[in-house]
A and B are shown apart, each in its own frame.
Chain A
Amino acid sequence: MKRLLKVFTYGLLVMFILVGCAKQPSEDMSAAQKAVEDLKATGAEKYIPEDTKKVDDSLAAALNEIKAQDGKFALSRNYDKAKQMLAQVKADAEKVKVDIAAKKEEAKKNALAGQQAARASVKEAKALLAKAPMGKGSRADIEALKGDIKGLEDSVPELQQLIDKEDYAVAIDKAKAIKEKAEGVSNQIKEAMKKVKGK
């Protein structure tokens, strides 16, 4: 029995030494936190909110797991699960970051295309207006349409400002609105010119 107790005690000591060494995975923690911060810095919450939230929640769960282990008796602490969770958070954050870059690029492309289309529509309307007979003898509506085009011209530079701020969704909406209005003005000018020619 004495021998048995001795073996048991030594075994316990070995275990104590081994388990007692379990420390907070601070490096993994920092790496995961940095990965999430880097992800957020890309504006991820705006472009892929669902995935970003998921990564954020996973990080919070991993930190809670560490807290739970911290609160345990030293011998029973085990950070393996936390380490796994943190590794997963880091991997997920890096993956979402790659996705974000693609999404942003796509949004930028769409915003630039929208800006170009809006500019072209305003340009077309302006060119049409220049062709319309002006001054005395011109259609009265033409004068009013000048105001419409001026309003559109004032709004076009706002598109670049939005693109510069990476506010692509709003830029796309605005470009769409400008294009529609400019096309409406062009149609009105064409109608007005038709009436004048018909006289």
Chain B
Amino acid sequence: MAFPAYSNKRNPKTLFILGFLLSLILPGCSSPPLPPEVKLVETMNHDLWKARAHVYAPEEYKSYETTLKNIMDDLIREEARFIWLRDYEPIARRLKAVLRDGEGILKKVEERKEAKRVNTTRQLSELEERIKELDRLSLTINEGRLARRSLTKAGLMIKEAGLFREREDYDGATSRLTIASGYIKASEDILVPIFNRYTDKTLIEKWRRWVDEIAAESRERGTSAIVVSKIDRRLTIYKHGRPFKTYEIGMGRNGLADKLLAGDGATPEGSYRVIKKLFRSRYRKALLLNYPNEEDRREFLRLKKMGLIPKRAGMGGLIEIHGGGKEGMTYGCVSLENRHMDELFELVPLGTPVAIVGNAFPRDDISITPQKVGDD
């Protein structure tokens, strides 16, 4: 390799080469400091990540990330430039702007989180209330194994949702509340048709008519009559047309429904008579009723014809008012405590009219409202 000849004269060419070579060495000696915003942005990134900005403000966060990436690329390019050409000022300005964006996103995230927290809390408490109501109603009707199975699952989901909410995982909580809503709906599908009967005006009028008729008979003939109100779980003896004594009763496992066929566990509704007094029964003493009566038979045939009752199904029978305890679950009979059965047995003669009704008196606590939670 040839080198330029040295001359004592200051050769401008030599000076230029020397200057150039020095310029290659000097930049490595020192470097201007990075703008302080670089550190601030690092902190901001961490804060945004911790606040889960990607979840609560995904659009804004994506735009923030893209802008920041461009700036950081430019910063790297700037760092690569010769020392005297480096200018961090424009980058610092852009970083300041991106920091302001980050602050805005953090604020939005907090607002959205709060809104989700409020919404989750509201849904949670609404569903909890709903479960309580259905739980109470399912106990009222003595039924509900299936309804309660779903209610239990709903309750578990709600508990889980509460734990997710505590961890500020509102999406997790919401997904559990949605599942809980489904279980509650399944439970309602079982319970609502039963309870709807008790708010049906036509039915209520029919029940009132049966009660009025046997009360009138008791008044006119000076005899006894029995009214069984299923929703109240009470049996009332009428004397001379007036309520004389009331006892608590037990019914079938599906007691609040009207009996349609044998084995449905429902207690029949209708106007009946005591057709036999059994001094010795498996359940202490018993009053046998004339179930099924003509109306029951007509209804049974009508429903069978419509295909609402299986063709091979029977009507059932042997519906009694018997002892054995009011806590008992019968196959459709009405049960009383033994001592009450003894009293009743003495008070009513053969032929006593018996009205078994869903609801002898209007009540407000048996209404059931459709589920609203989860709709919004």
Interface on A for B, CB 8 Å cutoff? 1-2, 5-6, 8-9, 12, 15, 53, 57, 64, 67-73, 75-76, 78, 135-141, 143-152, 154-155, 170, 173-174, 176-178, 180-181, 195-196, 199
Contact = CB atoms under 8 A, between A and B. Distances in A.
Ranked 4 nearest A-B pairs via Cβ: A151-B152, A71-B80, A147-B148, A2-B6
Contacts of B146: 147
B191 to A, nearest CB: 12
Interface string B54-98: 000000000000000000110011011010000000000000000
Given A147-B144, A147-B149, A76 B24 contact: yes
Nearest to A71: B80
29 contacts: A1-B8, A5-B14, A6-B3, A8-B18, A8-B21, A9-B21, A12-B25, A53-B46, A67-B73, A72-B80, A136-B335, A137-B325, A143-B253, A144-B148, A147-B148, A147-B149, A147-B151, A148-B149, A148-B152, A151-B148, A151-B156, A152-B156, A154-B153, A173-B160, A174-B156, A176-B159, A177-B155, A177-B163, A199-B325
B148 A136 contact: no
Interface stretch (B120-128, B194-202, B326-334, B346-354): B326-334
Contacts of B324: 136-137
Contact of A143 (B3, B72, B142, B156): B142
Contacts of B28: 76, 78
Contacts of B139: 140-141, 144
Nearest to A150: B149
A128 to B, nearest CB: 16
Most buried by B among A76, A176, A181: A76
Contacts, number: 141
Nearest to A138: B329
A68 B24 contact: no
B3 A53 contact: no
Contacts of A139: 327
A5 to B, nearest CB: 6
A58 to B, nearest CB: 11
Nearest to B146: A147
Interface of B: 3, 5-6, 8, 14, 18, 21, 24-25, 27-28, 42, 45-46, 49, 72-73, 76-77, 79-80, 82, 138-139, 142-153, 155-156, 159-160, 163-164, 250, 253, 283, 324-325, 327-331, 335
A29 B335 CA distance: 83
B335 to A, nearest CB: 8
Nearest to B333: A136
A15 B25 CA distance: 10
Contacts of B24: 12, 73, 75-76
Contacts of A174: 156, 160
Nearest to B335: A136
A157 to B, nearest CB: 12
Given A75-B24, A150-B149, A136 B6 contact: no
Nearest to A61: B42
A55 to B, nearest CB: 13
Most buried by A among B21, B148, B250: B148
B325 A9 contact: no
A150 B253 CA distance: 17
Given A146-B145, A147-B144, A196 B27 contact: no
A177 B159 contact: yes
Given A136-B330, A151-B151, A181-B156, A144 B79 contact: no
Nearest to A177: B159
Given A151-B148, A177-B160, 16 more contacts: A5-B3, A5-B18, A12-B25, A68-B80, A76-B27, A136-B283, A138-B329, A144-B138, A147-B138, A151-B150, A154-B149, A177-B156, A178-B156, A180-B159, A181-B159, A196-B327
Contacts of A67: 73, 76
A138 B330 CA distance: 9
B149 A151 contact: yes
Contact of A155 (B14, B153, B327, B335): B153
B328 A137 contact: yes
B160 A140 contact: no
Contacts of B8: 1
Contacts of B79: 68, 71-72
B123 to A, nearest CB: 17
Contacts of B77: 71
Contacts of A69: 80
Contact of A147 (B147, B156, B325): B147
